[in-house]
Structure 1
C-alpha cells in the first residue's frame, strides 16, 4: 500500500517522503475558495476600526491589501503548494454578534469580534484553499499589527475554510 493511501494524503510518496503533487495530467477547471479568520479585541480597538481613527490609519484598507498580497505568496510560505495564477480576490470584514463569536469569553475583556473573509478564484489544475486561508490569516494578523498599540491582548481565534468549489472533490460548504 502506498504511503498516500495509508495516510490519506497525496503529499507523500510510496517511500513516505514529502513531495509536491504532480498535477500535469489534471484538467484546468474553474475553482474558488472562501476562508475566514476571526480576531477578538476590546471595545477601544473596535471603535478605532469602526471610525477609521487608528493612529496607523484605515485598518481595514491596509488589512484588505495585505490579504490580497498574501494570496500571491502562499506557495512561498507553504512548502508543498503550487504557484497558482490568482485571477480574483475579494476580501470582506464583518463584526460578529457575541453569540456568533468563536470561543467568546466575556471574562477576557474582548467584547468585539471581527471576521476577515477572503474569496480567491482561479482557473487552474489545483485549488485555492490555501491561498484563501493565507489571505484570511494575514488580514487578521494585519488588524493585530495595526491595533497592537491600543490592545496587545487581541486574540486571533480561528482560521477556517468556509467553502470551496471546483476540481475533482467538488463542493464543500461549512455554512
Structure 2
C-alpha cells in the first residue's frame, strides 16, 4: 500500500502534502456522454423541454461543481481555479450529448478531479432536466482526456 499517495504506511487514508511541490500552470480536460433517444434531442433543439434551457443550465452546473470538488471528494485539495469551461453539444451520432470540461489553475496539484466533477455534474444535470421526457438515458465514458503541468508532464488520450 505504500505506493499509493493517499494511503499511509498503516493503510489509513491521508491527504497528500503538496507543500514542497513547485507551483506550475496546470490544465486538465475531461469528456463524457449522455445518451438519449433521438426524439429527446429534437425536443431540446425545439426548446420544448419542461425545465427550460437544459444545455445552458447543465454547463453552468458543471462550472459550479468544479469549484466545489474539494467539498465532494474527501482527499482533494481546495484549489483556486483560474478557468472552468464546460461545453455541451448535441451529437446525433451517439445519439445524445457530448460533454467537455477544461479546468486551469496555477498551483501545486493537478485539476483532473475538478474536470471530472464538472463533466459528471453537467451530465447529471442534463439527466435531471430531461428525465421527464426520456427514461432511456444513460451517462457514459466519463474520462480524463488530457492534462498538462506538474511533475508527470503532459498526457493526451485519443
TM-score range, shorter-chain basis? over 0.9
For normalisation by structure 2, the TM-score amounts to 0.95
Give 1:36 deviation, angstroms.
1.1
Tell me, in whole angstroms, the C-alpha distance in 1 between the residues paired with 2:92 and 2:152: 33
Q: Given that residues 44 and 150 in structure 1 are in contact (C-alpha distance below 8 angstroms), is that contact kept between their aligned partners in structure 2?
A: no
Cα distance in 1 for residues equivalent to 2:75 and 2:83? 22
8 Å CA contact 1:93, 1:114 repeated in 2: yes
State the SS of the aligned residue for 2:63: helix
Are 2:70 and 2:76, in contact at CA under 8 Å, matched by a contact in 1? yes
Q: Which residue of 2 aligns with 1:118?
A: 101
Quote the offset at 1:161 in angstroms: 0.5
* Residue 65 (structure 2) pairs with residue 70 (structure 1): yes
Q: Is the 8 A contact 2:146 2:156 kept in 1?
A: yes
Distance in 1 (CA, whole Å) between partners of 2:153 and 2:44 is: 37
Is residue 2:127 matched to residue 1:132?
no
* Deviations, residues 30-79 of structure 1 (Å, cap 9, x unaligned): 00101111010011211122233211111111001100000111111111
Contact 2:148 2:154 in 1 (8 A): yes
Deviations 1:85-119 (A, max 9, x none): 11101111233353xx4xxxxxxxxxx12111100
Structure 1 gap segments, 5+ residues each:
102-111
The residue that corresponds to 1:10 in the other structure is 5
Q: Decide whether the 8 Å contact of 2:23 with 2:108 is kept in 1.
A: yes
Instruction: Tell me how large the CA RMSD over aligned residues is.
Output: 1.2
1:56 aligned onto 2:51:
yes
Structure 1 equivalent of residue 129 of structure 2: 146
Distance change (3 Å), C-alpha of 1:51 and 1:4? farther
Deviations 1:140-165 (A, max 9, x none): 11001111110022000221001110
**What secondary structure is seen at the aligned counterpart in 2 of 1:141?**
helix
Q: Distance in 1 between matches of 2:43 and 2:74?
A: 36
